[in-house]
Structure 1
Amino acid sequence: MGLIEIQSKEKFSDLTSVKDKLIALYFHTPWASPCIQMNKVISTLADSPQNKHIDFLSINADNFPEISDLFDISAVPYFVLVKNGTILKELSGADPKEFASALEQLGGNEQEIETNQADSSVSKEKSSSVFDYVSSATNNQDAAPAAVALEEESPEQLKARLRKLTTAAPIMLFMKGTPSAPQCGFSRQLVAILREHQVRFGFFDILKDDTVRQGLKKFSDWPTYPQLYVGGNFQGGLDIIKESLSENEHFFETALVEANNTN
Structure 2
Amino acid sequence: MAATLLNVKSVTELENVLTGGGGHLVVVHFSATWAPQCKQMNDVLLELAKDTHFVNTKFVTLEAEDLPEVSEKYKISAVPTFIFLKNKTEVDRLDGANAADLTKKVKHHSSPTSIGPSQPIAPKEDLNVRLKRLIESAPVILFMKGNPEEPRCGFSRTMVSILKENNIKYQTFDILADEEVRQGLKVYSNWPTYPQLYAKGQLIGGLDIVKELAENGELKAELPGSSDLEEQLKSLINSSPVMLFMKGNREDPRCKFSKQVIQIMSETAVKYNTFDILSNEEVRQGLKAFSNWPTYPQLYVSGELIGGLDIIKEMKESGELANVLKPK
User: TM-score of the superposition, structure 1-length normalised?
Assistant: 0.49
The structure that has the greater radius of gyration is 2
By relative contact order (CA 8 Å, sep 6+), the higher-ranking structure is 1
Q: More helix by proportion, 1 or 2? A: 1
User: TM-score of the superposition, structure 2-length normalised?
Assistant: 0.40
